Amino acid sequence: MGKRAIITGITGQDGSYLAELLLDSGYEVTGIVRRLSASNYWRIEHLLDRITLRPADLLDQLSLVRVIQDVRPHEFYNLAAMSFVPASWDQPLLTGDYNAQGCTRVLEAIRQVDTGIRVYQASSSEMYGRVREVPQTEQTPFYPRSPYGVSKVFGHYITVNYRESYGMFAASGILFNHESPRRGLEFVTRKVTDGVARIKLGLTDQLGLGNLDARRDWGFAGDYVRAMWMMLQQEKADDYVIATGVSHSVRELVEVAFRHVGLDWQKYVRLDPAFLRPAEVDHLIGDASKARRVLGWEPKVSFERLIAMMVDADLARVAAQPAPAGAVR
């Protein structure tokens, strides 16, 4: 009999890759989904006959307790969140309720049912914000620059707190930006690769972006979910930075994506002030030495391969279905 795992956020980018990884490793996978008026299972459509979906919500403590009691998982991955940084300025209270108190509700629910359940918390490089050190490690002090970043600092420390207060196996993965063809369309990598596909296919001739100078350490989501699983297989719970150690600017991202289809980005990209943020995180670059040393983790997909993979996937998708229903642009 394999292990049982619960994933919150299974309908998101990381949840879908993690579910694949766990199923391939022989796990029974239960995904927590919140009730929506229309189904949003496009990332897990191919897994639906191999996973169990249970309705629950990070806002509803009892719904979490009920699922954990029924499933009695060995591992619990808390990936659900309001994850789009600009939206966190529009909805700071809801962001805190999902990401900060939501994480506390998960930890409390596990504590109530069985403190032996191993739990992973999805922390973020956005916690470093206005960085105090370059590159960032597990020891770098936090300085979040958005309600999202602040909510994730709470989630991180409450996870550490439950580990230290109750002896729970609660690990926090401080993951730097990771992307894939399943990334939401509003995030900059996917916005660019989708835009390149539309321009290449003659559906539009411009792409409006914000700050081209921001730099991020971008990796492939498939590589990063492997690190989450590795963290829960250790003897003791800990915090780990997961990053490639290489950063690129948004401008470089744009150049690489347009070059992949033989186009000159300068003819199509324009500055749209609507995409500038009230406070920017200028430059993130992570040092994942601890994860390499302790977990034996390393990224396999380079930045150039990642962007090529995303552009190719968007070209195929847009060619097949030029106007996806419900996409946030």
Residue numbers at the binding site for ligand F7E (CB under 6 A): 83, 85, 124-126, 176-177, 186-188, 191, 209-211, 214, 216, 250, 275, 277, 280-281
User: Which of ligand NAP, ligand F7E, none does residue 85 bind to, with CB < 5 to 8 Å depending on kind?
Assistant: ligand F7E
For position 175 contacting ligand NAP by CB under 6 A, the verdict is yes
User: Which of ligand NAP, ligand F7E, none does residue 277 bind to, with CB < 5 to 8 Å depending on kind?
Assistant: ligand F7E
For position 12 contacting ligand NAP by CB under 6 A, the verdict is yes
Q: Shortest gap between Cβ of 59 and ligand NAP (angstroms)? A: 5
Q: Shortest gap between Cβ of 324 and ligand F7E (angstroms)? A: 18
DSSP 22-40: HHHTT-EEEEEE---SS--
Nearer to ligand NAP, 44 or 315 (CB): 44
The Cα–Cα gap between 73 and 75 comes to 5
The Cα–Cα gap between 242 and 14 comes to 14
| Residue whose C-alpha is closest to residue 184's, from 89, 95, 83, 275 | 83
Query: Could you confirm whether 124 is annotated as catalytic?
Result: yes
Query: Could you confirm whether 148 is annotated as catalytic?
Result: yes
| Residue whose C-alpha is closest to residue 216's, from 279, 282, 272, 150 | 282
Q: Shortest gap between Cβ of 147 and ligand NAP (angstroms)? A: 12
Catalytic position from the list 98, 148, 224, 268: 148
| Strand, helix or coil for residue 74 | coil
CA distances in angstroms from 161 to 14, 103, 170, 241, listed in the order given: 25, 12, 9, 18
Per DSSP, helices labelled H in 31-101 are 61-71, 85-90, 92-96
Q: Which stretch binds ligand NAP (CB under 6 A): 22-30, 56-64, 243-251, 259-267?
A: 56-64
Query: Could you confirm whether 98 is annotated as catalytic?
Result: no
Q: Shortest gap between Cβ of 209 and ligand NAP (angstroms)? A: 18
Instruction: Classify residue 236 as exposed, middle or buried by CB count within 10 Å of its CB (0-12, 13-18, 19+).
Output: exposed
Question: Which are the contacts of 63, defined by CB distance < 8 A and separation ≥ 6?
Answer: 55, 56, 57
Which residues form the catalytic set?
Answer: 124, 126, 148
Residues that bind ligand NAP (CB under 6 A): 8-9, 11-15, 32, 34, 36, 40, 57-59, 79-83, 98, 122, 124, 175, 177-178, 184
